[in-house]
Chains A and B, each alone.
Chain A
């Protein structure tokens, strides 16, 4: 009644006024039907809405005016009933519901809708209410609306025409300023499966895909598969939308769009390339369901794009234990063989191509690993299968623990996990061995779980643990659950076949089981015994004798029959006992069960064929008994056998073959795991579980022979970077949680061209987390400058564009400040920054005057570019980040720069040097003092461009050695020297940068200096330096060219051309230049070194040169000889260095351990043995000369 009263307060006249107008309209409309005829289309719908709305008013008026049209009178009492709550008890007819829906009161509508939804929920048909319900689609009350949506989605398919009426409402909703309404409109619009609106849906999806709100974009992603299932013709257009959404940078969208991708175009793996790294990096922040989908997709992706990390192992031995460290004891025998094999094939192995993991592959493995800690079993399983399918053998082990944890979960989860563990445990037994006890069975487990656990236990059984497992099995055999007992017996049989040591024990145990009362147990035991006997013919007699003795005691007919079969089958092995058994059996023949009788006849026949002398009479006796048996089967059998074996005058041709027929060699039943070879299905998938291909299953592709081009995944990351931090940063206090830091770093990496940027940090993944927080605190406390910086950047990343702009302005201001040459440095921080600025500033100038724009590394050139413009908001942010991350690090020594500048143009460099010369010393030292040694290295792990910073850690930077390319006499006045600048060659990271210095000693100018006719070994590539148009007499010019030496010391031959002449020249790199430094922490170094043992390790004893007995000197000499970076080391007796070869990225680790009196030991670990040996020679020379 309350609602009515409210309505009564309406100005009566107003209502009446409206009422009169409407009752006419209404009358007409309602004649037609509650809603419009379908063919009237959209316009009709608008008019249809009107009466609906009007009716609200009218019935309000009814209450107020107390009168109205005829149909209202009917409605009135109903309404009152409703208001009083009278209908709560009795079920309402559809008519009543219609009335309620037509009412103007939301509460009534809601009540009606609730009832209708309840009907739907129970599966009752409510389709005839469609017209009444659909009218309410525009209802203001959000709950009514939602319930109407529920109804619509359920019945729209059946009433397509009527459903069309609702479309315009949704279309309006799509334009709503409220993102929730936009999203829900799109959701319902795409959920009503009406083919006619496909174009409208398409349009809506396209529009929503570029909506401001990520939530709406997510909904758009969800709508894609809906539309696709409705009309597969739209595929191409939908793929476009997917492509667009894949590029979306928010975590909210990522999961949904990958799901759409999987449903619509899983074969279009090429769409992933550009988004691969982003997906990897976002993964941890995506919601759990999205994570599952993304991980599964990436597994497939990785299988097509990367090389098999276990390729070398699988070449060596099949499926065995590739790495001893992890798999330990399981296959001791194999290992020994393998060892020999290894030595024998050492030469062959040297030839085979070493495997280097693609950094992107590593990225995936690294970023999925933390998800093993997810609370969601599906996520854990997804990561587990990813590791199983993609990780190098040594790393797969990490998943075992997480999977074992899942065994505590709901029994359904256990069921699925155990199935997968069963498959895994066949291939990688060692992985689960430590968790053997977690698979022990409790009497309370459901049978299906018990059987699966048994399967796993059986797979895990080996010589060392078999006794424990068998003891467990013994308790299981006593279980009440007979299916389980049968499975246990089979398991014992399998253990016995696999592990020869326990075969006898198992057999004895099984023989005892033959006396079990349970037929199932006996039958199972006999089958298993049979199998075991067939495997070891030489031992038959003992057990068969034993079993023959059992015939006296065992009463279970099935068991007796089985024993008799065995004796018959192997009667040759027990020639004395068999006839005796037959004698006993003949005696008791009449009292035996039918199956036993049949086997007695069988036994008699076999004995007659092998030993007719002794058994002829017995056989005839038995056959005679059988002839008069009550059972016709037995009579038949007796007659048949008699004809077959007893030679008579008219015996048929068959009797000749009687022996063959009866005593054919029976194949042993195979006892092997039902989970064998199931791993060709992607683990964790439905298909794997069912061991059959499910609809829509995407095959897991085989590894490619050769890796496809990794550069397809390269992306410009300016924009990405900023977004990513938005998502990961947590809007609070100190913690720019280590996660965020990682993100930043990771995302920036790809920027520096593919392999180079990635590989360094890849190796130092573990230490980074520490360092991130560490750097955080230190920068916060000591370096106010950086503190504020980072805060700002955080803010910026969190906030929307406006703030960013604001911040940009600040930044610009700062820049201006900094540009002033002398600045009161409030802190070291800012002075450092300043110095950076100066460096940057100097760059453009240099590059203007000279032709070597690429001689310095990326960041510099990038920032110089960005400085020249002003609208580069993202670049700004990025740059700032870089500053921020670098601040805590030691500075790269300015030496290379200095040298160049000195050489090249004195006037200018002087000025520059003044600017930054004093800076380095006070900076390097403080950092080192207040940060612990390990922290420094950790920070280095964080660095963005290892190679640039590397010289910093090599305490005294080495001077670059120059080589002569062209002597001035042969060059007719032109002399050319080259040196390896040890800078990354920015156009192509796989190339070694060679800096050339041309000096024109002639009296005339040299023109058009360029390279021609490059002759290279296969695989090598050269990036020529830009042509030097003019080299005036007496002048000098420098240029940088890049050469990809393919990690070999083969010379690159080419012609150096001037406008008049050509000179044949060649550049041969010292092996030390074929690498670039990487940063490793001590632990990583040790870990990596541990993996590069054996042939990959070369050790040489040496006596150090007298001048080279302190650490400093050693470091200097080694770093001069090879482009390596120093790895921190706890002991001062050892110096360690690390680097990667430029082309393949193989790790090169060098250790120099010093002893008394200049004795030392040099160790080089490198996958590339040739490089290793050459490097040893070079370093040896450097240290001993």
Chain B
């Protein structure tokens, strides 16, 4: 399975290597660097590369490449998913997944990698299990450890590893028992020039932060579960119960986890919160262009739209932008050709507007296509699909937990074509 792992930063330096079988020279990465050169964007590097003796499967996360070396047939998604799980674990342990963070914690990283894979086959990937075996660093513990020579490594086998609920660690105890659920929905939409919706779907996720003592058994029911078109669950969710009653029944892992994700693809269920009026034009003569963007509320369900932001990836020929924004402010980075207009809260009375001229490189033919606008927004206290949690019950424990549900709607890949 997974033979070796190389972590490569955006400059192309290998700053960590780990081999689970015999050592593979890092020169194997040259093939990858070659492909990296060819692809303009790091995102465009093919995730799977074939070299004479090995296969390289890589992911790009947080400006780092996680490059794994494979020698024999293995489902590529298996490796990709695992690498992302590794990155997630780093994120979870160190609060970030950058080169500096990993270099600072190289020993823990190494211990983690050792636990996560055995001979290239995943061993323990559940965060609750790993945390029992290798404790995440925190300041207090590192001070204590230096003084006493103590270690970060647990001495017993995590209970979860053996039980039928491997995701939960044993003996959890809190003074304040609380369970929070964040229902976050992202709207993916493509709106065309005339303002009609080409495609729209909602990607929802329920993130949970559960800090409950003992072995709580939770059930969550929804007011309108039929909305949910397609779902995927954390392994803790009892699938049959969902099938039969549309109730989420689960013994949660301790701490933060993603309880479920769902997908609403039917377009008529998706409300588009804002509309955009835009005109971007480039003139043949005088090598300049005009830009005029107005945003207004469309279907906001009576809530205010916040954190509104418009990002435009300008054609190469645009040198500078001379614009006035009626609300918020804009920046234009002429190296990346990125125009960002940060609006903030959307005021329905006075619609935000950005207009002005664009100066173009002379002698270069006009771009024939207009850039598309990417919209970011956020609506608090609203799940745009109308999904509502109706109940959250706890069984198995006697205390009364504090429960909370929060709804947020965001724009996912929300694109307006021009």
Question: Beyond the given A375-B232, A686-B48, could you list 17 further A-B residue pairs with CB under 8 A, ordered by the A residue number?
Answer: A121-B110, A149-B114, A193-B21, A289-B121, A370-B240, A377-B81, A378-B81, A408-B263, A412-B59, A416-B77, A437-B198, A438-B199, A442-B413, A690-B55, A694-B73, A695-B72, A737-B238
Task: Please state if B16 and A374 are interface contacts (CB–CB under 8 Å).
Answer: no
Is A1067 interfacial (CB 8 A cutoff)? Answer: no
21 contacts between A and B (CB under 8 A): A122-B16, A122-B106, A142-B151, A149-B114, A150-B114, A190-B119, A215-B161, A215-B162, A287-B122, A288-B235, A296-B75, A381-B77, A405-B261, A408-B188, A410-B80, A444-B415, A685-B76, A686-B48, A690-B48, A731-B215, A773-B244
Contact partners of A689 in chain B: CB under 8 A: 48, 76
Q: A438-B201, A475-B192 are in contact. Are A378 and B78 (CB under 8 A)?
A: yes
Least distance between B336 CB and chain A CB atoms (Å): 13
Q: A378-B77, A410-B84, A415-B46 are in contact. Are A157 and B22 (CB under 8 A)?
A: yes
Is A923 interfacial (CB 8 A cutoff)? Answer: no
Contact of B217 among A219, A251, A733, A742 (CB under 8 A): A733
CA distance A214 to B164 in the complex (A): 12
Contact partners of B215 in chain A: CB under 8 A: 731-732
Task: Please state if A735 and B249 are interface contacts (CB–CB under 8 Å).
Answer: yes
CA distance A219 to B267 in the complex (A): 49
Is A226 interfacial (CB 8 A cutoff)? Answer: yes
Q: A122-B16, A292-B78 are in contact. Are A728 and B164 (CB under 8 A)?
A: yes
Q: Which chain A residue lies CB-closest to B215? A: A732
Least distance between B101 CB and chain A CB atoms (Å): 14
Contact partners of A735 in chain B: CB under 8 A: 217, 238, 241, 249
Q: Which chain A residue lies CB-closest to B165? A: A730
Contact partners of A1153 in chain B: CB under 8 A: none
Contact partners of A117 in chain B: CB under 8 A: 106-107, 110
* Stretch touching chain B among A102-110, A203-211, A823-831, A1130-1138: A102-110
Task: Please state if A448 and B46 are interface contacts (CB–CB under 8 Å).
Answer: yes
Contact partners of A164 in chain B: CB under 8 A: none
CA distance A6 to B113 in the complex (A): 35
Contact partners of B71 in chain A: CB under 8 A: 695-696
Least distance between B394 CB and chain A CB atoms (Å): 11
Is B396 interfacial (CB 8 A cutoff)? Answer: yes
CA distance A282 to B230 in the complex (A): 24
Contact partners of B143 in chain A: CB under 8 A: none
Is B243 interfacial (CB 8 A cutoff)? Answer: yes
Least distance between A846 CB and chain B CB atoms (Å): 41
Q: A222-B118, A375-B233 are in contact. Are A404 and B249 (CB under 8 A)?
A: no
Task: Please state if B17 and A121 are interface contacts (CB–CB under 8 Å).
Answer: yes
Contact partners of A435 in chain B: CB under 8 A: 265
CA distance A269 to B271 in the complex (A): 52
Task: Please state if B244 and A377 are interface contacts (CB–CB under 8 Å).
Answer: no
Q: A215-B162, A769-B243, A773-B245 are in contact. Are A373 and B81 (CB under 8 A)?
A: no
Is B390 interfacial (CB 8 A cutoff)? Answer: no
Instruction: Count B interface residues, CB 8 Å.
Output: 110
Task: Please state if A448 and B188 are interface contacts (CB–CB under 8 Å).
Answer: no
Is A285 interfacial (CB 8 A cutoff)? Answer: yes
Is A659 interfacial (CB 8 A cutoff)? Answer: no
Q: Which chain A residue lies CB-closest to B164? A: A727
Contact partners of A742 in chain B: CB under 8 A: 240
Is B50 interfacial (CB 8 A cutoff)? Answer: yes
Q: CB-CB contacts of B45-86 with A at 8 A, as 1s and 0s?
A: 011101000010011110000000011111111101110100
* Stretch touching chain A among B272-280, B286-294, B319-327, B368-376: B368-376
Is A118 interfacial (CB 8 A cutoff)? Answer: yes
Is A298 interfacial (CB 8 A cutoff)? Answer: no
Contact of B75 among A287, A292, A730 (CB under 8 A): A292
* Stretch touching chain A among B89-97, B152-160, B171-179, B296-304: B152-160
Q: Which chain B residue lies CB-closest to A85? A: B146
Contact partners of B58 in chain A: CB under 8 A: 412
Q: A689-B76, A732-B395, A773-B244 are in contact. Are A122 and B118 (CB under 8 A)?
A: no
> Which A residues, 420 to 454, have Cβ-Cβ distances below 8 Å to chain B?
435, 437-438, 440, 442-444, 446-448
Least distance between B186 CB and chain A CB atoms (Å): 9
Contact partners of B413 in chain A: CB under 8 A: 442, 444
CA distance A191 to B73 in the complex (A): 21
CA distance A910 to B266 in the complex (A): 67
Task: Please state if B82 and A289 are interface contacts (CB–CB under 8 Å).
Answer: yes
CA distance A288 to B261 in the complex (A): 17
Is A244 interfacial (CB 8 A cutoff)? Answer: no
Q: Which chain B residue lies CB-closest to A728? A: B164
Binding site for A on B (CB under 8 A): 1, 14-19, 21-23, 26, 41, 43-44, 46-48, 50, 55, 58-61, 70-78, 80-82, 84, 106-107, 109-111, 114, 118-119, 121-123, 125-126, 146-149, 151-153, 155-157, 161-162, 164-166, 188, 190, 192, 198-199, 201, 203, 215, 217, 229-235, 238-241, 243-245, 249, 251, 258, 261, 263, 265, 267, 313, 315-316, 365, 367-372, 374, 395-396, 413, 415, 417
Contact partners of A223 in chain B: CB under 8 A: 119
Is A539 interfacial (CB 8 A cutoff)? Answer: no
Least distance between B405 CB and chain A CB atoms (Å): 20
Contact of B229 among A259, A401, A440, A732 (CB under 8 A): A401
Query: 4 closest pairs, A vs B, by CB?
Result: A143-B151, A107-B149, A696-B72, A478-B369
Binding site for B on A (CB under 8 A): 2-3, 85, 105-107, 110, 114, 117-118, 120-123, 141-144, 146-147, 149-150, 154, 157, 178-180, 183, 187, 190-191, 193, 213-215, 219, 222-223, 225-226, 229, 251-252, 256, 259, 284-285, 287-289, 292, 296, 370, 373-378, 380-382, 401-402, 404-405, 408, 410-413, 415-417, 435, 437-438, 440, 442-444, 446-448, 472, 475, 478-480, 516-517, 684-687, 689-690, 692, 694-698, 726-733, 735, 737-739, 742, 769-770, 772-773
Contact of B190 among A292, A440, A479, A697 (CB under 8 A): A440
Q: A446-B44, A475-B192, A769-B244 are in contact. Are A114 and B78 (CB under 8 A)?
A: no
Contact of A123 among B17, B61, B367 (CB under 8 A): B17
Task: Please state if A141 and B149 are interface contacts (CB–CB under 8 Å).
Answer: yes
Q: Which chain A residue lies CB-closest to B205? A: A408
Contact of B369 among A123, A144, A219, A480 (CB under 8 A): A480
CA distance A193 to B74 in the complex (A): 22
Least distance between B387 CB and chain A CB atoms (Å): 16
Contact partners of A480 in chain B: CB under 8 A: 315-316, 367, 369, 371
CA distance A105 to B147 in the complex (A): 12
Q: Which chain A residue lies CB-closest to B54? A: A695
Task: Please state if A118 and B240 are interface contacts (CB–CB under 8 Å).
Answer: no
Task: Please state if A2 and B147 are interface contacts (CB–CB under 8 Å).
Answer: yes
Task: Please state if A3 and B149 are interface contacts (CB–CB under 8 Å).
Answer: yes
Q: Which chain B residue lies CB-closest to A683? A: B75
CA distance A694 to B122 in the complex (A): 21
Contact of A686 among B55, B82, B396 (CB under 8 A): B55
Least distance between A765 CB and chain B CB atoms (Å): 10
Contact partners of A727 in chain B: CB under 8 A: 164
Least distance between A181 CB and chain B CB atoms (Å): 9
Contact partners of B72 in chain A: CB under 8 A: 694-697
Q: A215-B161, A405-B230 are in contact. Are A193 and B70 (CB under 8 A)?
A: no
Task: Please state if B251 and A121 are interface contacts (CB–CB under 8 Å).
Answer: no
CA distance A120 to B113 in the complex (A): 13
Least distance between A505 CB and chain B CB atoms (Å): 19
Contact of B123 among A149, A193, A222 (CB under 8 A): A222
Contact partners of B251 in chain A: CB under 8 A: 730, 732
Task: Please state if A376 and B81 are interface contacts (CB–CB under 8 Å).
Answer: yes
Least distance between B240 CB and chain A CB atoms (Å): 4
Q: A444-B374, A444-B413 are in contact. Are A375 and B258 (CB under 8 A)?
A: yes
Contact of B74 among A438, A442, A686 (CB under 8 A): A686
Q: A376-B81, A727-B164 are in contact. Are A118 and B265 (CB under 8 A)?
A: no
Least distance between A981 CB and chain B CB atoms (Å): 37
Contact partners of A120 in chain B: CB under 8 A: 110
Contact of B153 among A2, A142, A444, A696 (CB under 8 A): A142
